[in-house]
Structure formats: C-alpha cells, structure tokens
Structure 1
C-alpha cells in the first residue's frame, strides 16, 4: 500500500514513517506533506493509495484537503489521524469522504487495523469515538424526506438554491456567483431533478418547508 503522510510536525511524520515501514509491513511511504495544499500537489503527482491526514495545518486544513482530494482523486482513500476527537470533526471527515478517523494517542496497532479496514473499503473509527457518535445518532430526530433530498445537493447547488429561494433572477445569480447564465440553468436543472420539483416557485416552497423543519 502506497501511503502519503500529511502533518505539520516533521518529527511526528518521521516517527510515523518508521512505525509504518517495518520489515513485515506492506506499507510504502511515498511522500510527506506539511499542509493541505502540499498534500493536494503530492496526491496529484504520486497517486497514493491512501493518505494519512492531520486536521489542523497551515494553508489548507486536513478536512478541506480531504474533501478536495476525494473529489479530484476518488481512488485515493483517506484516514484522519488527529488529536481532536470532537464528533463534529468526525462527522465532517466522513461527510468529505474519509474512511477512517484515528485518535493520535491510540496505540500503533490500532492504526494498522484502520489501514487494513480502509484498504478493504470499510470505515474505521477509534473506539473512543463510537459512544458519543452513537448517542448523538440515537438522540437526533429522524431526517425528513425533504432534508434528505436537500443534503444530496452539492455546495454550489445549495448556493444557487438559496438564491432562487430568495427570488433572485437567473441573471442576478450568474452575476453574484460569477458564472454564466447557462451554468445557472444547468445547476437549476440538477436541483429540480434531485428535489423532484418542476419550477422556481416550487424551489421557494421547498425552502419554506426546510425552514419550518429547522425552526
């Protein structure tokens, strides 16, 4: 397995490399990056099988780097290795496409388990993360059909949806987002398909439903 290490502390990266590249290991560390931007560049250049990524780094955070890597290089898998165990970070990491989240103070054996799990397209979370996530899931209200559909929109589609819901014209949206009116039309078509609606008027009504559910 060809692995890229991403952390802004060189000593930590060196220690992690030494732990991963043992004689009986099938891991080859093909590069190291100290921030999210460098991680993107090295992923494009070296096409690693897996990236082990910290969260807090200069220039571009690990979460944003994860999102961009997964969008641009979907075959590259990602494990977040961080000292931040808040469920918000875990949720965002999984949302952006990470398959694993391991706490930095975990024993090395746990990271090896995570690597094997992710290699086989399985999700791995440190045991200490599971209880608050399960509790949060059990206490959360059921997600409505409308919200499920809305969550399938891309970030750009949500921006355009919001502008349409405020009765902005096609031309005004294009100017506001610095895109062409034709691009707005394409996004509008995709939005309507995903939300199963047929007009801009229905976009406004759909927005009202979402607002009521979140109030």
Structure 2
C-alpha cells in the first residue's frame, strides 16, 4: 500500500532533502509540496494525503496552526511535525494540537522513514531525542507519581497495550505481540484514551513514558 505524503517547509533545500529521503522508500509517495501553512492546508484538502509532514516554523501559518486546521477539517490525515527545534514548549504545543508524530530534522534519515511508516500504521511516533526529554522531565517525583496514578486506573491488559503504544507500535504490531485481534487492540486503545482523559495516542504515549511503562518499570497495581 502506498503511503501518500504532503510535505510542507518554507526552505526549498530542506524540502528537497526530505523528499529525496522519502523517495528511497518505494511505498512512500510525496503527492504535494507546500512552502507555508496556508498552502499546506489547501493542498491537503485537495489531495487528501495519508500524512502531512509540516515544518513548525513557516510563514503566514506555522506548522502548529496548520496542524490544528488539519485535525479539525481532515481528521483522516495524520500530522507529523518536523523541526530543528526540540525545546519543551514546542513539544508541549505539538502534543496539545494532537499531532501523530514529532521528528527532528537533524535525526538520522532512517528515523524519518521509520516515523512515517509508524504513523501510517496508526502508531504515535516521537523522535528518540524527544522521548529522552520527556523521560528526563518526568524524573520529577510528583510528575511520575501522577502518571502512575493515572495508569493504575487501567486494567492489566490495557497497561500492556499502553506500554507497547508508548514504544511506537501500531495496532497491528500490538496485536501480534499480545496475540490479540487488531479490532480488540483498537477497543483497548479507545478505552485507554478515555480512562487517561487524553485526546490521542501521542498524549497517551507521554503518560506511558512518565509512568515508566516504556522502560519496563512496574507501576503499582
């Protein structure tokens, strides 16, 4: 199955470089390119891509604004933010906008392909550097305690699913790992989002990181 991607970045050289990396995967096709957020939204409405890869800092409408527009008007299009900036405020804002992935331009090209494929498979994906920042920030005892209290509201099976979701696995991969039908995994994921009071898989993954599930820790049950 071809993964149809819209790519938006105001720097032509960056756009060309990312497009060249994506072109190395025969199952990924860049169907449209934009140089600002407004153009990205308009092209997305026309092409209906599977994934919109958006630079955070763009003229007229930045990546966060474009992400918000796409989440409200094209919910079937996943959103991945691509940036050179990894400050906490960008990460927090991206999470609040319900993005499906967050990648750094300075990352290994293989990470870009891995992130696109993960998101196309229905998974949330955070660059390992972003994940490390989340984990480091969650070293604060009150934050960890709060995350673990939230995780305690889940059933044992839901905790198993959340742990794998936090590691970037798709529903299909989680099903294979836990010997569950994909439809059953979807049911568990919906229940997890509801119980944790989060809007999307990325926010659920953050809770998994903070509670220690992705590191093999065992929250009190």
TM-score (structure 2 length as normaliser): 0.61
SS at match of 1:25: coil
CA distance in 2, matches of 1:137, 1:68: 30
Counterpart mapping for 1:62-141 below 5 A? 62-139=63-140, 141=143
CA distance in 1, matches of 2:85, 2:31: 26
Q: Tell me how many residue pairs correspond in the alignment.
A: 144
CA distance in 1, matches of 2:116, 2:98: 15
CA distance in 2, matches of 1:82, 1:129: 11
CA distance in 1, matches of 2:83, 2:137: 21
The aligned residue for residue 22 of structure 2 is 20
The answer as to 2:10 corresponding to 1:8 is yes
When the two chains are superposed, the root-mean-square deviation of aligned CA atoms in Å is 1.9
The aligned residue for residue 34 of structure 1 is 35
* Runs of 4 or more consecutive aligned structure 1 residues displaced over 6 Å after TM superposition: none
The answer as to 2:53 corresponding to 1:47 is no
SS at match of 1:45: helix
Displacement of 1:136: 2.5
Displacement of 1:94: 2.0
The aligned residue for residue 209 of structure 1 is none
**Which consecutive unaligned segments of at least 5 residues does structure 2 have?**
151-221
Displacement of 1:135: 2.9
Displacement of 1:91: 1.8
Task: Flag the structure with larger Rg.
Answer: 1
SS at match of 1:131: helix
The aligned residue for residue 58 of structure 1 is 59
